[in-house]
Amino acid sequence: METRCIKEIGGENMARIVKLEGKEPKVITEDEAKFPIGICTCGLSTNFPFCNGSHERCGGEEEGSLYAYDGNSRVRVK
């Protein structure tokens, strides 16, 4: 997955896998806003937590499968 969480424990970095299941943004609309705000739920946005359209890369994923993203490549893990 392109989005990585690193937690520092005792001076060592520990990587975690964060499973995000969204395939489209959560859209927030406010009466005073000039445009809707898209919140990323897939974890692939380079502008996280805001959606930048990267969820389009999730197309073709099999339901119930787990994928890892690294740059522009996708690998089915489970």
Tell whether the model's pLDDT for residue 20 goes beyond 60.
yes
* Span 27-78, pLDDT tens digits: 988 887 788 889 998 888 888 899 999 888 888 888 888 888 877 788 888 8
In whole angstroms, what is the distance from residue 49 CA to residue 55 CA?
13
CA 73 to chain centre: 14
Tally the domains of the chain.
1
CA 22 to chain centre: 8
Task: State which residues form the domain around 15.
Answer: 5-76
> 0.85 exceeded by the pTM?
no
Tell whether the model's pLDDT for residue 8 goes beyond 80.
no
DSSP string, 30-51: -TT-SS-EEEPSSS--TTTTB-
Name the one residue in this structure whose structure tokens are 């999730």: 58
